[in-house]
Structure 1
Amino acid sequence: MQGLGQTFKAVISAMVGVGKKSDLVKDFERVEAQGPWAYIIVGLIMTVVFVGAVIMVVKLVLP
């Protein structure tokens, strides 16, 4: 479960544009060891959540 949390943390940091160099190195090491699929899947999920949130906000603001 900690690995999944680390993956979400890395994806959120990348979406916001902030992060530590040490976390980036850990992420690259993890990708080399396990492959990029966890990051790809979490990235797609977070993108869908973000787009859904934007759509909901627009529908709430506009009549």
Structure 2
Amino acid sequence: AMFFTGEEFITYATEAKVVGGEPTSRWTKPTLTMFNESNYSDGHCYAQGYTDLKIGITLGMPVPGT
């Protein structure tokens, strides 16, 4: 999700200074992702996060048991 949203979710730092963070780049074009009945477990987490964060268009069938 961070690649699509560009929102920083982690910072690398020492006691003295911040040395970086993630993401280091961002996709700036519209996105679409597809889901289907074969997406179990992690596939459902990805689909739910993509939908909840309103990253882009979703297309496909629901994941069973969700």
TM-score, normalising length from structure 2? 0.33
Please identify the structure whose Cα radius of gyration is greater: 2
More helix by share: 1
Structure with more contact order per residue of length (Cα contacts < 8 Å, sep ≥ 6) = 1
